[in-house]
Structure 1
Amino acid sequence: MKKMIPFLVVGLFILQLSIPNALAAKKVEDIKVPDSVLNITKENTYPNPTQNLPTLQPSELTSDLIATTKVKIENPNLIRMLNETSVNSTPFALGYRAVIYLGHWPLNYESTETAPNWEYQKVNTNYYDNRGGKANYQIHYVQEAQKVVEGGLTAKVPQADDVKKMMLLRAAEKTNLPLSFQTVVGAGTKKGHVYNIAPKRLGYLYGYVPAVNEKGKVTYGEVYLMLKGNKKMIVVKNVTSQGIGAWIPIQDYISFQFIASDKPV
C-alpha cells in the first residue's frame, strides 16, 4: 500500500498596499511653531513634492501572522512582502512542517525624543547698510540662490532606508509637521513680512531651514514563516536593538532672524 505524501502549496500572488495598525500610534501634542517661522509653500519657486506617507492595511493573512509573534512588526516593506504572500492550506497537510527564511529585517522603531531645531541650516542672508540713511529702510526676505537641505541618520545602520521610513512616519505623527529627508528652497522665493533698519544701522535678515531631531531605538530580527500542518506563524530569532537618531528637515518652512547693528557682524 502506497503512503500518502502530505503536500502544501505556497505562492506569492496577492498584492496589496498596507501598513500595520501599530503604525497608527497615538499622536502626541503638536509642536508649537514660533512666530518667526513662516510657511513658504505658496511662495517657494521650487515645488517640493508632497511627502505622502503610505497608509497601508495588512491583509487578513498578514494580520493573523503578525499576531503569532510577541515582537512588534511595523516595517512597511516587510508588511508589504507579507501582504504579497499567499499560503494555501489543504486537508492533506497533516504532519507537514516547513520553515521559510524571510530575511533579516528592521522590525520596528520606538521613538524616545522628538525635538525641533528651528535654525538647523542657514540658507539665505538679506543685507542692507543704512548707516548713511536718514529714515528707516525696509527689507524683506528674498532667497538669493537655490538651496538643497538634506537630513539623514546620525549613524550607519543596516537597511537604513527602511529605518528612515519608520522614523519619518513616527516623527510626522508626533509633530504634525510636513517632514522630509530633503527639502529645496528655490531662488527668488519671497515673503512680504517687512523688517525696519533704522538710520546709522546695518540690517541682516537670516533665513534658516528648520528640522526635527528624532531619537529612539530600532529593533532587528531574523524573520521566519513557519508552516506546521494547517497552522501558519511568524517566528523571529536573534532579536537585537540599537539606539539611532536622525535629522529630518521641515519642508517649506523658513525660520527668520533679524539683526540690526551699528557695525558689521
Structure 2
Amino acid sequence: MRILQILLAVFIAFGFTMSSVQAEETKVKADNKKLEVPNSVLDISKDNTYPNPSQDVPYLQPSELSQELIDSSNVKIENPKLIKILNESNISPSPVAIGYRATIYLGQWPLSYESTETSVNWEYQKINTNYTDNRGGKVPQQLHYRQEAQKSVKGGLTSKVEAADDVKEMMMLKAMDKTKLPLSFQTIVGAGTKKDQVYNIPVKKLGYLYAYSPAVSEKGKITYGEVYLVLKGKEMKIVVKNVTSQGIGAWIPVQDHVSFIFAASDRPR
C-alpha cells in the first residue's frame, strides 16, 4: 500500500495519472502428460466429510503495460503479487514529462522460482489404521477404509526465507504444473470418510489397512532482488539491483488423496 501511495504522489506531481485496471487471470494450459498415480492411491474428494477449499491458484496474465515492464527487466519476474501491482497501474505520459527523470524503489521481492527437482512421497504421513481380527473366522472377512478421526496434514518450506508466502505460492504453482496434482500446504481428511474398496482378510489372519497422505517434495532456487521503476521522459523500465539466489525446498501435501497399504498378519502388529 505504501508503494502505491508513493507512486501515486510522484505520478501526479509530474503530470502522470495512475488508474486501477482489472487484472486478467488465466491458467496455464495443462500438458497432456500426467504423473502416473499408483493404483493404491485413491481420490477421496467426493467422499471426504471435510470439504477442503479449492487450491486452484490462478496464473496472472500480465497486462500490456506490465508485460512491457517485465520484458524491460534485467532479471526474470514471476511473482504473482508483484505482477498484480503492475497490472493495477496504468501510467499515461504527459507533455510535461519531457526531460523528466525519476527512479522509484518498489521494494525487495522474491522475483522468480526455478524448479530443479519434483518428486512425490505417496506415504508422506500416516493418517489412519483400520483393523479386523479374523483368526477365529471360518471364511474370509472384508475390510474397508474408514477414517477414525479427523486428520490435518500440513506441509511447509524446509528453511526460513524472506517473503515466505510469496515463495510458497510460486513453488506450489510450479509443482502443480509439473505433477498435475491438486496441491495445498494444508489438507484435512474428515472423520467418517470412507471408500468402498474391498480388502480380503484370509482365515486365521489379522488384517491391517494403513492410510497415508501423499505429498510432493519440491526443490529449487528462489531469486531475490531490489526492484526499481525507472522513468526517463516518456520511457519507463524496471531495473533489479542486488540480485541474490537461495536454494529452497518444500513439502506440499496432495489434497483429497489417500495412499493405502494392506497387510495380513498371523500376529498383532
Tell me if both proteins adopt one fold, taking TM over 0.5 as the criterion.
Answer: yes
Deviations 1:51-76 (A, max 9, x none): 12113211111111111113110000
| Alignment pair present for 1:260 and 2:264 | yes
- Structure 1 stretch displaced more, 69-78 or 7-16: 7-16
Matches within 5 A, 1:36-51: 36-51=40-55
Q: 2:110 aligns with which of 76, 82, 106?
A: 106
What 5-or-longer segments of structure 1 have no aligned partner?
A: 1-6
Residue 159 in structure 1 maps to residue 158 in structure 2: no
- CA distance in structure 1 between the aligned counterparts of 2:262 and 2:17, rounded to whole angstroms: 62
Decide whether the 8 Å contact of 2:172 with 2:183 is kept in 1: yes
3-state secondary structure, aligned to 1:246: strand
Please tell me whether the aligned partners of residues 53 and 169 of structure 1 are also in contact (alpha carbons under 8 angstroms): yes
Residue aligning to 2:71: 67
Tell me, yes or no, if structure 1 residue 178 matches structure 2 residue 178. Answer: no
1:210 counterpart letter in structure 2: P
Q: 1:81 corresponds to which residue?
A: 85
Q: Is the 8 A contact 1:172 1:179 kept in 2?
A: yes
The percent identity for this pair of structures is: 63
1:13-65 deviations in Å (ceiling 9; x for gaps): 2233256x9x9498584210000000011111111111121132111111111
What is the count of residue pairs matched by the alignment?
257
CA RMSD of aligned residues (A): 1.7
TM-score, normalising length from structure 2? 0.91
Distance 1:36 1:100 in 2: 55
Q: Which of 191, 195, 199 in structure 2 is aligned with 1:191?
A: 195
- Which one of the candidate residues 8, 21, 35 is aligned to 1:15? 21
The reply on whether 1:209 has 2:213 as its aligned counterpart is yes
* 3-state SS of paired residue (1:173): helix
Q: Which runs of 5+ in 2 are unaligned?
A: 1-12
1:226 aligned to which of 230, 235, 259: 230
Residues 46 and 186 in structure 1, CA contact (< 8 A), matched pair in contact too: yes
TM normalised by structure 1 equals 0.92
Give the secondary-structure state (helix, strand or coil) at the position aligned to 1:264: coil
Could you report, residue by residue, the CA deviation over 1:123-175 in whole angstroms, capped at 9, with x for unpaired residues? 00000111111111111000000101111111100000000000111110111
CA 1:27–1:171 in structure 2 vs 1: closer, same or farther (change >3 Å)?
farther
Instruction: Give structure 1 regions of 4+ aligned residues with deviation exceeding 3 angstroms.
Output: 9-12, 23-29
